[in-house]
Amino acid sequence: MDIRTPDIAAYVADVGRRARAASREMARAATDAKDRALLATAAAIRRERAALVAANAKDLDAARAAGEDPAFVDRLALTDTVIESMAAGLEQIASLPDPIGEITDLRFRPSGIQVGRMRVPLGVIGIIYESRPNVTIDAAGLCIKSGNATILRGGSEAIHSNQALAELIREGLESAGLPADAVQVIETTDRAAVGELISHPEYVDVIVPRGGKSLIERIARDSKVPTIKHLDGICHVYIDDAADLDKAVRIADNAKTQRYSPCNTMETLLVAQGIAARVLPPVGRIYVDKGVELRGCPRTREILAGAGIACAEATEEDWRTEYLAPILAIRVLADLDEAIAHIATWGSGHTDAIVTEDYSKAMRFLREVDSASVMVNASTRFADGFEYGLGAEIGISTDKLHARGPVGLDGLTSLKYVVLGSGQVRS
Amino acid sequence: MDIRTPDIAAYVADVGRRARAASREMARAATDAKDRALLATAAAIRRERAALVAANAKDLDAARAAGEDPAFVDRLALTDTVIESMAAGLEQIASLPDPIGEITDLRFRPSGIQVGRMRVPLGVIGIIYESRPNVTIDAAGLCIKSGNATILRGGSEAIHSNQALAELIREGLESAGLPADAVQVIETTDRAAVGELISHPEYVDVIVPRGGKSLIERIARDSKVPTIKHLDGICHVYIDDAADLDKAVRIADNAKTQRYSPCNTMETLLVAQGIAARVLPPVGRIYVDKGVELRGCPRTREILAGAGIACAEATEEDWRTEYLAPILAIRVLADLDEAIAHIATWGSGHTDAIVTEDYSKAMRFLREVDSASVMVNASTRFADGFEYGLGAEIGISTDKLHARGPVGLDGLTSLKYVVLGSGQVRS
């Protein structure tokens, strides 16, 4: 099914037109029909497990033959666990409330009209992602539930898996009386398809790029369609001198070591000088025990050296680096003002936390740190759609417009004004 | 004060850096300080009326010398009425609730953290507009109240007026202890400044282009910064066959003739065939009496001819034209489905209304018409920040992301997540 289309532009335009047409039907689809499509797809995924594994095997063989590293092959694999989690994910999305059609703030105005806002789908969502085939199902599920049509462009290494999954989604949509074109997978591995997909605001309302930073940067720079994205997750924990020592150690440990690769993992630990000598030795020992490489400012190194803990010298480069690895930058600062300034200068607007028992400083941190998620006395690892109660997420946004932070179903919708009158005219 | 800067790029970068620095102070400014700045500026405008008129006279003289048409000179003039309305506008903005810092939906999650959303400023707003100097005050007022810094780039024909107004705003900000750089007016008439302003996401968070369609199109196409804008206001009223005849005539009259130039004025009247013979003659007579030129489909012309009312032949071009003038396109359609399809094909997503007493059709129109404002039994002319109760508006957006419809203070803000914990870590 890996076709090489001679005229990519015409092919993507055709996909775009079908998506636009399907989006009109999806926008008025009943909740019940959308949920039936999701549940039918979940059932088909469980039923067709063998066929999915067979399609996936083609991708896995090709990836191994191409010499891809084991981590890459792992991400590509549709194991029994991944297949079950895709099906369960769709069932979970089906169980979420339908955001579409909700009317809020409907109020009478002095003119006699009632004005409110109705939540409606964005229209057509283009999703560009790398080699994890489970994203095909997650993204399709969220778009179906939110009444959008979607065009999916997964990594070319997963083309057979994605095609097989797309077939099951199509079947699920049709069984519920919804348009099969509501979810389309780009059927070519030609990279020019991405360029086309991001060039047509008439077909696509928003692009969600997921994957490595260079991919996302390139798409955001070239796209003629608005994007929902995040580039970096340079997350900070600031341990204030009024911090509870136990909470500080627990949070600094968890924010770094619970998992190293997620975007909400702490990359730089900031410590107030008044508490540094008490908090750095115990937390430093935890890091060393867990194999985390430390890079600190001179004061950090001095304190850690006094406790017999090795710590390399940090440079400015460390303040701006998202390691996604067992490496941590540490800086001792005078106070909250310096911490806020450090985060404003070096942070990426993703997730930043303060550990403090001081009410006024907690409030200042919440107000003044301009990031998608700001936290008091909690691990940055909580910045996640499920932990926030969104039920699911299509990604995390560090943009300020539209969706910010974890993006759930609401982030794939828009609010339009509705006016209910009884013949009013303007005077 | 009309300086010609040799290095526009360096000049705009300097303005951008100052704005970014000021935005941090504005984000944490107290409501009281922002309101005092607004009220002080309002008082200064009234006090310095003579100086404003003198500065404005330079612009008016230059415009007349350049042979600008009287309508243009009118828009440029700071009359007593305009000066008073600027001052009153600032006082009105001061009286609005402060949107910043509001926390909503703060809920406990099973992990024990509380998750909510806090409304915060966008940061730096760039506003690009044409020759009306009162926009300088309106835009500055909205940005101050919403805790943003702003860079204003008005039409070069209004440079002296805008400089004089900027001086008063600067004075108002300083008197309230706020940074004077929170409102900066670009001090050069060189057009390259616009190109620079829209090229630096590191200094500017959002661009609001206001003015003619070609200006807005060019800015939206070239901008590296997200924009809040609308291009066209091709607004429709659909008179359903279940319409109340009196309401239909009143709304069709008002939506077109109350004012011809606003973007929320009806440009195409759609009429169900079942009611066309009853509604078109009375409404056609009103239009003719008010000097509105009619352009209709064959069935419209037939009905109007029968009533002795002249109506030219409409072409496809009429369905896609925003006249902003006493010209109206009229089309008779079979039913609601055709009306929805006409609006989807030819509309601009601005404001569309249905006149009907039929509940199900009203609900379908509200749900299925994908415009920023959808109305039942009300004139499209109500699509306006004041009529909607926003208190003020910076413009109307036909984009789907972020702000949609009339954009008030909230449209200049963003929602970030706040997490309140008591030491929680993720397991």
- Give the tens place of pLDDT for each residue, B334-374: 999 999 999 999 999 999 999 999 999 999 999 999 999 99
What pLDDT is recorded for position B6?
A: 64
Q: Of B321, B112, B195, B214, nearest to A389 (Cα)?
A: B112
What pLDDT is recorded for position A5?
A: 54
Q: Is pLDDT above 50 for A2?
A: no
What pLDDT is recorded for position A1?
A: 41
Partner-chain contact B378 A113, CB within 8 Å: yes
Q: Of B320, B258, B265, B261, nearest to B295 (Cα)?
A: B320
Which class for B76: exposed (0-12), middle (13-18), buried (19 or more C-beta within 10 A)?
A: buried
Exposure class string for B121-156: b at 16+ Cβ within 10 A, else e? bbbbbbbbbbbbbbbbbbbbbbbbbbbbbbbbbbbb
Write out residues 310-339 of B within 8 Å (CB-CB) of A.
none
Q: Of A422, A410, A109, A117, nearest to B406 (Cα)?
A: A117
Residue A361: both structure tokens together: 């400083």
Contacts of A367 in chain B (CB under 8 A): 27-28, 101, 118, 120
Mean per-residue pLDDT of chain A? 95
- Give the sheet arrangement for strand A124-128, strand by strand: A183-185, A149-153, A124-128, A206-209
Q: Of A248, A58, A30, A310, nearest to A144 (Cα)?
A: A30
Grouping H, G, I as helix, E, B as strand and the rest as coil, residue A328 is: strand
What is the topology classification, in CATH, of domain A8-228+407-419?
Answer: Aldehyde Dehydrogenase; Chain A, domain 1 (3.40.605)
The minimal CB distance from A372 to the residues B246, B375, B417 is found for B417
Q: Is pLDDT above 80 for A220?
A: yes
Amino acid identity of residue B344, one-letter, is A
The minimal CB distance from A423 to the residues B247, B387, B388 is found for B247
Taking the C-alpha atoms of residue A319 and residue A347, their distance in angstroms, rounded to an integer, is 8
Confidence of residue A214 (pLDDT cuts 50, 70, 90): confident
pLDDT tens track for B254-304: 999 999 999 999 999 999 999 999 999 999 999 999 999 999 999 999 999
Contacts of B118 in chain A (CB under 8 A): 366-367, 374
Q: Of A287, A290, A293, A285, nearest to A311 (Cα)?
A: A293
CA angle A130-A135-A139, nearest 5°? 120
Does the CB of A249 have a partner CB in chain B at under 8 Å? no
Contacts of A374 in chain B (CB under 8 A): 118, 416-419
What pLDDT is recorded for position A230?
A: 83
What pLDDT is recorded for position B382?
A: 97
Whether the Cβ atoms of residue A220 and residue A227 lie closer than 8 Å to each other: yes
Taking the C-alpha atoms of residue B351 and residue B388, their distance in angstroms, rounded to an integer, is 13
Partner-chain contact B425 A401, CB within 8 Å: no
Partner-chain contact A417 B401, CB within 8 Å: no
Q: Is pLDDT above 70 for B67?
A: yes
Work out the widest C-alpha separation in chain A, in whole angstroms: 80
- Please determine, for the modelled complex, whether the ipTM score is greater than 0.90: yes
User: What percentage of chain B carries pLDDT values higher than 70?
Assistant: 99
CATH number of the domain at B8-228, please? Answer: 3.40.605.10
CATH class of A235-387: alpha beta
Contacts of A254 in chain B (CB under 8 A): 425-426
Q: How much is the average pLDDT of A91-96? A: 96
Q: How much is the average pLDDT of A30-47? A: 98
Partner-chain contact A426 B111, CB within 8 Å: no
A193-197, A268-272, A297-301, B173-177, range with the lowest pLDDT: A193-197
Residue B377: both structure tokens together: 């039994």
Partner-chain contact B377 A109, CB within 8 Å: no
What pLDDT is recorded for position A6?
A: 64
Q: Are strands B373-378 and A413-424 parallel, antiparallel or unpaired?
A: parallel
Q: Rounded to a whole number, what is the distance in angstroms from the first to the last CA of chain A?
A: 62
Confidence of residue B2 (pLDDT cuts 50, 70, 90): very low
The minimal CB distance from A373 to the residues B251, B381, B419 is found for B419
Taking the C-alpha atoms of residue A90 and residue A67, their distance in angstroms, rounded to an integer, is 33
Residues, chain A, total?
A: 427
Whether the Cβ atoms of residue A23 and residue A182 lie closer than 8 Å to each other: yes
Q: How much is the average pLDDT of B242-265? A: 97
**Distance in Å, alpha carbon of A367 to nearest chain B alpha carbon:** 7
In chain A, domain spans = 8-228+407-419, 235-387
Q: How much is the average pLDDT of A186-190? A: 87
pLDDT tens track for A329-347: 999 999 999 999 999 999 9
Does the CB of A107 have a partner CB in chain B at under 8 Å? yes
A223-237, A300-314, B20-34, B54-68, range with the lowest pLDDT: A223-237
Does the CB of B220 have a partner CB in chain A at under 8 Å? no
pLDDT tens track for B135-189: 999 999 999 999 999 999 999 999 999 999 999 999 999 999 999 999 999 988 8
**Distance in Å, alpha carbon of A12 to nearest chain B alpha carbon:** 21
Ramachandran category for residue B211: left, alpha or beta (phi over 0 → left; psi -120 to 50 → alpha) = left
**Distance in Å, alpha carbon of A264 to nearest chain B alpha carbon:** 11
Q: How much is the average pLDDT of B376-386? A: 96
Confidence of residue A221 (pLDDT cuts 50, 70, 90): confident
Write out residues 1-60 of A within 8 Å (CB-CB) of B.
24, 27-28
Confidence of residue B5 (pLDDT cuts 50, 70, 90): low
Q: Of A318, A285, A286, nearest to A304 (Cα)?
A: A285
- Helix (H) / strand (E) element for B328: namely strand B327-333
How many other C-beta atoms lie within 10 A of the C-beta of residue A291? Answer: 9
Q: How much is the average pLDDT of B79-107? A: 96
Partner-chain contact B401 A402, CB within 8 Å: yes
Torsion of CA B309, B314, B318, B322, to 10 degrees: 0
User: What percentage of chain A carries pLDDT values higher than 70?
Assistant: 99
Taking the C-alpha atoms of residue A268 and residue A345, their distance in angstroms, rounded to an integer, is 13
Q: How much is the average pLDDT of A39-60? A: 97
Q: How much is the average pLDDT of B407-417? A: 95
How many other C-beta atoms lie within 10 A of the C-beta of residue B316? Answer: 9
Contacts of A377 in chain B (CB under 8 A): 420-424
Chain mean position to CA B87: 20
What pLDDT is recorded for position B1?
A: 41
Amino acid identity of residue B152, one-letter, is L
Q: How much is the average pLDDT of A22-34? A: 96
Higher pLDDT, A423 or A393: A423
The DSSP secondary-structure symbol of A405 reads: E
